Amino acid sequence: MDRGGCQMNGGGGGDRGRADTHGMITLEDLESFTEEELSDSGNGSLEEPGETMEEDEDPDRLLHYWQDVARGHQVEVSQDMAEPIQQLTTNNQGRSSREHIPFTLLARKEKCGELLYEKRQYEKGHWACITMREDTYEQSICYGFMKIMRYICGQNSTGNYLGMTLPIVTVVRTDENHSVVSHDVIVGYFLPVEHQAQPPQPQDNDIVIELWPATTVYTRGFTGPTNEVTIINQINAMAELLDSPAVCVNDSFIVAGFTNPAHSNRQNEIWFLERP
């Protein structure tokens, strides 16, 4: 996939976050860490939810925390991320402030009462996309998401906070054998409903606003970290469950990340894209 080609059908361009010790900074990390940091009394214990930082505490405390975590993954979080981190934290206190991408459930496959996968229809909509080509997969995800954060938090033609939608998706490519994940990844953010008709334009030229067509996906949930190993494992597991895997794109997949700070493991989905 080239830059600007992050369509859900896996094709080319056109109209179309809690951190684990081996993971990366994502949406789950932001909301999990910042909510804890906002309520951390400084002695290692957590106060009741809803507490906020005292005025005399370090205003860059959240930034420093991110920087410490990111350093272990060879990722640098620059000083100019302090405001987006704080703004996204302030605007995302509670589930009601997070808009979920709408879809129509077409079918569910179960076995012995266990959900194996769902078939869903996502309607066309505008997405803000960025393609990253860093040295490692983890670095690409980190830097791509931080750029999207800046766009959400005011670095757009409106100058305003746009609102968070879930999931944040990552488009990944593999080889034909599903054994290697490319480090070229695309991070996608679905624009909130109020901005779909007139998408705010990004100040960052690397971010592209695209109209993705209606797409059918086969999706299965999983918990835990999202790295190259887990992604390959989830792709192969899903391929074995599908009745007709040939109906799906074979080398492009989506990892969807959801925020759930109440749980110790991150909530994710792997999406297979039905061929158009």
Q: Domain of 187: which CATH number?
A: 3.20.80.10
In percent, the amount of the chain with pLDDT more than 70 equals: 73
pLDDT digits 0-9 by tens, 226-261? 788 989 999 999 999 999 889 999 999 999 988 533
Packing angle, helices 27-39 and 82-91, rounded to 10: 80
Within-domain flag for 255: yes
Judge whether residue 60 has pLDDT over 70: yes
pTM: 0.78
Q: What is the mean pLDDT of residues 94-114?
A: 86
Q: Pick the most confident of 37-41, 97-101, 107-111, 135-139.
A: 107-111
Q: Are strands 104-111 and 248-258 parallel, antiparallel or unpaired?
A: unpaired
Q: How far apart are CA 187 and CA 255, in angstroms?
A: 10
Of residues 29 and 82, more confidently modeled: 82
Q: How far apart are CA 190 and CA 53, in angstroms?
A: 31
Closest CA to 239 of 225, 267, 218, 254: 218
Helix boundaries (H) for 108-227: 137-152
Judge whether residue 121 has pLDDT over 60: yes
What pLDDT is stored for residue 17 in this prediction?
Answer: 38
Judge whether residue 194 has pLDDT over 90: yes
Q: What residues pair up with 120 in beta bridges, in sequence order? A: 105, 217
Judge whether residue 94 has pLDDT over 70: no
What pLDDT is stored for residue 195 in this prediction?
Answer: 97
Q: How far apart are CA 49 and CA 36, in angstroms?
A: 8
Classify residue 5 as left (phi > 0), alpha (psi -120 to 50) or beta: beta
Q: Pick the most confident of 41-55, 89-103, 200-214.
A: 200-214
* Cα 209–chain centre separation: 16
Q: What is the mean pLDDT of residues 158-186?
A: 91
CA angle in degrees (0–180, nearest 5) for 123-260-24: 90
In percent, the amount of the chain with pLDDT more than 90 equals: 46
What pLDDT is stored for residue 6 in this prediction?
Answer: 52
What pLDDT is stored for residue 226 in this prediction?
Answer: 79
Within-domain flag for 30: no
What pLDDT is stored for residue 88 in this prediction?
Answer: 77
Helix, strand, or coil (residue 194): helix
What pLDDT is stored for residue 134 in this prediction?
Answer: 84
The residues, any chain, with a CB within 8 Å of residue 254's CB and separated by 6 or more, are 8, 169, 170, 171, 172, 217, 270, 271, 273
Contact 256, 171 (CB under 8 A): no
Judge whether residue 110 has pLDDT over 70: yes
Judge whether residue 27 has pLDDT over 60: no
Domain that holds residue 130: 99-274
Contact 271, 118 (CB under 8 A): no
Q: What is the mean pLDDT of residues 119-143?
A: 90
Within-domain flag for 135: yes
Closest CA to 171 of 216, 88, 120, 231: 231
Q: How far apart are CA 80 and CA 189, in angstroms?
A: 21
Q: How many domains does the chain have?
A: 1
Of residues 138 and 250, more confidently modeled: 250
Q: Which two tokens stand for residue 251?
A: 């080398």
Within-domain flag for 213: yes
Within-domain flag for 214: yes
Q: How far apart are CA 69 and CA 18, in angstroms?
A: 11
pLDDT digits 0-9 by tens, 262-274? 334 578 999 999 9
Within-domain flag for 220: yes
Give buried/exposed letters for 35-53 (b at 16+ CB in 10 A, else e): bebbbbeeeeeeeeeeeeb
Within-domain flag for 106: yes
- In this prediction, residue 140 has a pLDDT band, given cuts at 50, 70 and 90, of confident
- In this prediction, residue 76 has a pLDDT band, given cuts at 50, 70 and 90, of confident
* Cα 121–chain centre separation: 19
Q: Diameter of the chain by CA atoms?
A: 60
Within-domain flag for 76: no
